[in-house]
Amino acid sequence: MKAIRGAIALLLGSALLTACGSDGGGGTDGAGKTLDVLIGANTIYPEQQREWFDEVSATFKAQTGATVRFETFATPNDELTRIQTSVLSGQGPDVYALGTTFTPTAYATKAFVELSAEDWGKLGGRDKFLPSTLGISGPDEQHEVGVPFTSRPFVMAYNKDLLAKAGFDKPADSWDGLRDQARKLTSAGVYGLAVAYADSFDPWKFIWAMSLQAGNPLVDGGKARLDDPTTAAAYRTYLGWVATDKVVDPAAVGWKNAQAIAAFGAGKAAFLPMVSATSKVTLDKSAVAGRYGYAIMPTIPPGATALPAGGSGAASILSGDNLVVASYSKDKDLALAFVKMLTDVEAQRSYYKTFGELPTNAALAAELQADPALAAMVESSSKAVGTPFTGAWSQIQLALVNVVVQSVPALSSGTVDSAKLDALIKQAQSTAQGALDKAK
């Protein structure tokens, strides 16, 4: 699997930019038909998502005559269940919008259309997309199921005024350094960090990044490595921010991402780690508008002042959403026309303006190069690493999140139960290894 390298930067000015087409449904006749589409519920911009559903449905109806019926999933567990149910029953949504880390699982089921050269032609060609965003579409170019829909490199927002007042000219490049800065920045109702511990999607990404930076990729061939000491150190660092370091608002043990963004936007936190360009839409309308910036997250693991031997300076997972078409769909061409429409320039521009999701369309990415706010996103993309391309990964990341979920009761009382944490990690290791064994 390819790591994402210079996602936007590599494409800016590329000759590939002229390859994108935008001819709508391409003459596909969908009159009287209904296309079912499953997509993640947007918890940050729910009203905007409902409006987007209506707009997209109306446009596709005008292009093809077909009706689009959207369904949503709320959590990764829900996402995995919907995939499994559809695969077993041979019926369900025609098109799925999946997080990139779920694409290996979708591929492993063999229940989604493996895209032929002809299929790519109907989508406007592979050259229409940023090459880096194709890095997790399949195990190789000849076996791809995922069509890149959004690109979401993770970065960290920081309050320029608070850092300057504390004497910091920039965020630290190590997790220990960030913790120390956060301690100094915590006072009078303002906390160093805003972290969404109860979010269903993001907690595992901290653990994965810190472990990988320490030289532990969590999966080594067919062996799970969640029981490595580096992973325990990652959990203790992440949970310790609120429990022992006291640099996070105690209420954050119940926060989703939207609440963490709101706290930062209200000037109640100095750092907001693990956010993407989607936060820009909200922050530009908040109390910190014009007074915040984005930087890549630390790439030096806990307990270190430099990247250790064997460590990876991963700043983000290769993140975003892919669109896949179910093999059981009775309207494959209609589904491909829908996917094409969503990945054409105009639809991608509308999505970016509404939700802040970076485009996968190469031509539109070129247009965005003038926005200085995206510089950190570009740098993060250049230092992002993909998760293992194994059908077991979805269960592994759910096991990683479960450790955090099960730790919340202790966090709520301001502690990290060390013995329980070790037991939870052991359980997650067993789950991960079991999933890998089944995936062989």
Domains annotated for the chain, with CATH where assigned, are 34-152+318-385 (3.40.190.10), 155-314+390-439 (3.40.190.10)
Residue 292 has pLDDT above 60, yes or no: yes
Average pLDDT, the chain: 91
Give whole-number Cα distances, 54 to 64, 264, 310, in Å. Answer: 15, 31, 49
Q: What is the mean pLDDT of residues 219-234?
A: 96
Least confident piece of the model among 41-50, 280-289, 380-389 = 380-389
| pLDDT tens readout for residues 358-401 | 999 999 988 887 788 888 988 898 888 888 889 899 999 999 99
Reduced to 3 states (helix: H, G, I; strand: E, B; else coil), residue 301 is coil
| pLDDT tens readout for residues 316-345 | 998 899 999 999 999 999 999 999 999 999
Closest CA to 298 of 307, 290, 289: 307
55, containing H or E segment:
helix 46-64
Looking at residue 23, its pLDDT comes to 38
| Strand partners for 67 | 34
Looking at residue 369, its pLDDT comes to 73
Residue 12 has pLDDT above 50, yes or no: no
What span, in angstroms and rounded, lies between the C-alpha atoms of 278 and 260? 13
| pLDDT tens readout for residues 160-169 | 999 999 999 9
What span, in angstroms and rounded, lies between the C-alpha atoms of 372 and 350? 20
φ, ψ dihedrals at 47, nearest 5°:
-65, -40
| pLDDT tens readout for residues 201-213 | 999 999 999 999 9
Looking at residue 414, its pLDDT comes to 87
Q: What is the mean pLDDT of residues 220-239?
A: 97
Looking at residue 370, its pLDDT comes to 73
Q: Note if the pTM is more than 0.85.
A: no
Is 358 within 8 Å of 4 (Cβ atoms)? no
